[in-house]
C-alpha cells in the first residue's frame, strides 16, 4: 500500500480556513491535542493524520480534514512531526444523545451505517496491523518499549491471540500459569470471528462522534484505526458503552454487525488489564 503523502504535506491553500499556526504557536500550546488555533485547527498524532488521509482518499466518510504534516528538528536535534487538522463545530454525542428525538437518532444511525459500509469495503491487506504493516495502536497491543510479538503486525488470528496472552503476562508477572494455558488454547478459536480482515476506526464511542449543527455526523479520533478482525469495531464500541447509562448500545446493530461472543471475551481481557 503506497504512502498517500510525502512530508512535508500541505493541503491546497484555497482549502485553508485560516492561516496555519506557526511552529512557535504549536510549541506554546498547553494542551497539544486539544488546543484551538483561531477556532479553526487542532493538533493530532502522526499516525492519526496518516489514517485520516487514507480514509479521506479512499472513502467519503465524514472526518476532519488534515491541513498540514511537516517536520522540524528541535533544540536537542530530535525530529518533531507536526500535524494540523480541521476543527469541527458541534456537540459530541456523549453530551446530547439522551436528549435527541427518535428521528435524529435514526438519521445518525443511517449515516453511521453508510460510513461503516465504506470502511468495511476497503480492500484488506494480508495482515492485522496499522497502515503500511505497522503495529496496532489499540491499547490491548501497546507496551512501553517495542515488543513486536505484542504490538504487531500479525499474520494470523493465532498470532493476534498469542499477543493478547503475552500482553496479560507482560502487565502482570503473576498472571496464573494455568489461566495462561487456557487462554492460549481457546483464544485462537473464540476470536476467529468470520476470519475476515477489515479496516476499523477501533475507538467508536459517543465522545468521538460529533453531531454538527446541520445534523451531519463526523467521526473523530482516528489514532487507533487499522486492519483488525471483523468483530473488533463492534467489540470496542460496545465496551465503550461503559456504565450503560443510555441506549446507544441498542442502536449499534443498525450500523455494526454484532459479535456478542467476541465482545465478551475481549471485554474480559480489557477489564482484567485496566479495572
CATH number at residue 272: 3.90.1200.10
pLDDT of residue 35: 47
86, 107, 129: which is the final residue of a domain?
Answer: 86
Q: Are 195 and 93 members of one domain? A: yes
Residue 66 forms part of a structural domain:
yes
pLDDT of residue 34: 46
Q: Are 29 and 104 members of one domain? A: no
CB atoms within 10 A of CB 151: 20
Residue 54 forms part of a structural domain:
yes
For residue 153, say if its preceding peptide bond is cis, omega within 30 degrees of 0. yes
Residue 37 forms part of a structural domain:
yes
Do residues 130 and 136 touch, judged by C-beta distance below 8 A? yes
Cell triple for 195: 476470519
pLDDT of residue 103: 98
Query: Measuring CA to CA, how many Å separate 9 from each of 49, 51, 223?
Result: 11, 14, 18
Q: Are 141 and 221 members of one domain? A: yes
86, 118, 149: which is the final residue of a domain?
Answer: 86
pLDDT of residue 113: 98
pLDDT of residue 79: 74
Q: Are 56 and 122 members of one domain? A: no
Residue 83: Cβ-neighbour burial (10 angstroms; 0-12, 13-18, 19+): buried
pLDDT of residue 116: 98
Residue 128 forms part of a structural domain:
yes
70, 86, 102: which is the final residue of a domain?
Answer: 86
Q: Number of folded domains in the chain?
A: 2
Residue 4 forms part of a structural domain:
no
Q: Are 275 and 144 members of one domain? A: yes
79-86 β-sheet, strand order? 9-10, 66-73, 79-86, 41-43
Q: Provide the residue-wise pLDDT of the chain in tens; the chain has 275 residues.
A: 545 556 577 777 777 777 777 777 766 765 555 445 555 555 566 788 889 999 999 999 999 998 888 877 777 777 777 778 888 999 999 999 999 999 999 999 999 999 999 999 999 999 999 999 999 999 999 999 999 999 999 999 999 999 999 999 999 999 999 999 999 999 999 999 998 999 999 999 999 999 999 999 999 999 999 999 999 999 999 999 988 999 999 999 999 999 999 999 999 999 999 88
User: What is the biggest distance separating any 2 CA atoms in the chain, rounded to whole angstroms?
Assistant: 61
Q: Are 220 and 250 members of one domain? A: yes
Q: Are 234 and 129 members of one domain? A: yes
Q: Are 81 and 94 members of one domain? A: no
Structural domain of 41 = 9-86
CA–CA distance, 53 with 64 (Å, rounded to integer): 10
Q: Are 74 and 122 members of one domain? A: no
Q: Are 67 and 116 members of one domain? A: no
Q: Are 72 and 184 members of one domain? A: no
Coil, helix or strand at residue 222: coil
Amino acid at each position: 500500500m503506497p504512502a498517500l503523502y510525502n512530508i512535508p504535506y500541505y493541503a491546497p491553500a484555497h482549502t485553508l480556513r485560516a492561516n496555519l499556526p506557526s511552529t512557535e504557536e504549536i510549541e506554546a500550546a498547553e494542551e497539544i491535542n486539544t488546543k484551538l488555533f483561531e477556532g479553526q485547527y487542532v493538533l493530532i498524532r502522526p499516525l492519526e493524520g496518516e489514517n485520516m488521509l487514507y480514509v479521506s482518499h479512499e472513502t467519503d466518510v465524514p472526518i476532519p480534514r488534515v491541513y498540514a504534516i511537516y517536520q522540524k528538528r528541535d533544540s536537542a536535534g530530535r525530529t518533531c512531526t507536526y500535524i494540523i487538522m480541521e476543527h469541527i463545530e458541534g456537540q459530541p454525542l456523549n453530551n446530547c444523545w439522551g436528549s435527541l428525538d427518535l428521528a435524529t437518532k435514526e438519521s445518525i444511525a443511517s449515516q453511521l451505517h453508510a460510513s461503516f459500509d465504506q470502511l468495511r469495503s476497503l480492500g484488506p491487506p494480508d495482515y492485522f496491523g496499522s497502515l503500511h504493516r505497522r503495529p496496532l495502536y489499540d491499547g490491548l497491543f501497546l507496551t512501553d518499549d517495542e515488543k513486536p510479538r505484542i504490538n504487531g503486525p500479525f499474520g494470523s488470528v493465532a498470532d493476534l491471540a498469542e499477543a493478547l496472552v503475552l500482553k496479560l503476562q507482560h502487565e502482570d508477572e503473576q498472571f496464573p500459569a494455568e489461566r495462561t494455558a487456557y487462554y492460549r488454547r481457546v483464544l485462537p478459536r473464540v476470536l476467529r470471528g468470520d476470519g475476515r480482515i477489515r479496516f476499523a476506526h477501533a475507538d467508536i464511542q459517543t465522545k468521538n462522534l460529533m453531531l454538527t449543527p446541520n445534523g451531519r455526523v463526523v467521526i473523530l479520533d482516528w489514532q487507533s484505526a487499522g486492519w483488525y478482525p471483523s468483530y473488533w469495531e463492534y467489540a470496542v464500541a460496545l465496551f465503550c458503552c461503559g456504565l450503560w447509562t443510555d441506549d446507544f448500545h441498542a442502536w449499534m446493530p443498525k450500523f455494526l454487525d454484532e459479535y456478542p461472543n467476541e465482545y465478551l471475551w475481549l471485554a474480559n481481557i480489557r477489564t482484567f488489564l485496566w479495572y
